[in-house]
């Protein structure tokens, strides 16, 4: 089974994407984008993004960063995934859906692709006559590392 880490996730360049939308490229948008692209496998919160932008643009008000994040999400350039009321993270939008696996112990966030879910759409159709749209799902549980560190939780073959 191919893992998501084997998968190439090219993010579009911000200037091209913004020009396509007829928008002006501001320094701040570029810094937000660069911060996200610099850590493609992290899922950054708005606070973490604001902190990174302010390292480069110390005069920027965090609330301006938050507003700009909202605009970039509305424009389809960024994806915001909400994890309950008080946690949300941002990443560059990709061309194909990703489901998120969130570790409730260490906060780590991983991706899995459609294949990992099997024929979910077919099962929902059969069970409820429901036509699944382009949903991206978020699952909560324990990541592999945290699971391994749980006493007696699972035995890894060969270790
Ligand atoms: Zn992918
Ligand atoms: Zn974990
Ligand atoms: Zn993600």
- DSSP-assigned letters across all residues of 81-140: EE-SSS-EEEEE--SS--EEEEETTT--EEEE-GGGG-SHHHHHHHHH-----S---EEE
Ligand nearest to the CA of 112: 1
Report CA(141)–ligand 2 centroid distance (Å).
8
What are 110's strand-pairing partners? Answer: 101
Instruction: Compute the distance between CA of residue 145 and CA of residue 8 in angstroms, rounded to an integer.
Output: 24
Choose from 24-28, 65-69, 94-98 the range with maximum mean pLDDT: 65-69
Helices (runs of H) and strands (runs of E) counted in the chain: 6, 5
Report CA(96)–ligand 1 centroid distance (Å).
6
Residue 6 has pLDDT above 80, yes or no: no
What's the first-to-final CA gap in the chain, in angstroms? Answer: 21
Ligand nearest to the CA of 113: 1
Report CA(152)–ligand 3 centroid distance (Å).
30
- pLDDT level of residue 1 (50, 70, 90 thresholds): very low
Ligand nearest to the CA of 143: 2
Q: Name which residue leads in pLDDT, 145 or 76.
A: 145
Residue 30 has pLDDT above 80, yes or no: yes
Average pLDDT over residues 41-63: 91
Half-sphere exposure of 62 (CA within 13 A, CB side): 8
Report CA(99)–ligand 3 centroid distance (Å).
7
* b/e sequence 88-117, b meaning 16+ C-beta within 10 Å: ebbbbbeeeebbbbbbeeeebbbbbeeeee
Ligand nearest to the CA of 150: 2
Residue 115 has pLDDT above 60, yes or no: yes
- pLDDT level of residue 17 (50, 70, 90 thresholds): low
- pLDDT level of residue 95 (50, 70, 90 thresholds): confident
């Amino acid at each position: 089974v191919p893992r998501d880490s084997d998968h190439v996730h090219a993010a579009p360049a911000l200037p091209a994407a913004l020009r396509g939308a007829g928008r002006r490229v501001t320094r701040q948008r570029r810094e937000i984008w660069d911060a996200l692209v610099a850590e493609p496998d992290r899922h950054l919160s708005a606070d973490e993004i604001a902190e990174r932008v302010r390292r480069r643009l110390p005069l920027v008000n965090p609330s301006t960063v938050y507003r700009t994040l909202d605009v970039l999400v509305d424009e389809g350039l960024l994806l915001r995934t909400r994890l309950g009321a008080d946690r949300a993270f941002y990443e560059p939008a990709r061309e194909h859906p990703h489901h998120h696996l969130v570790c409730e112990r260490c906060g780590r966030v991983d991706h899995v692709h459609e294949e990992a879910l099997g024929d979910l759409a077919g099962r929902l159709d059969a069970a409820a006559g429901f036509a699944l749209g382009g949903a991206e799902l978020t699952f909560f549980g324990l990541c592999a590392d945290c699971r391994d560190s749980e006493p007696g939780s699972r035995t890894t073959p060969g270790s």
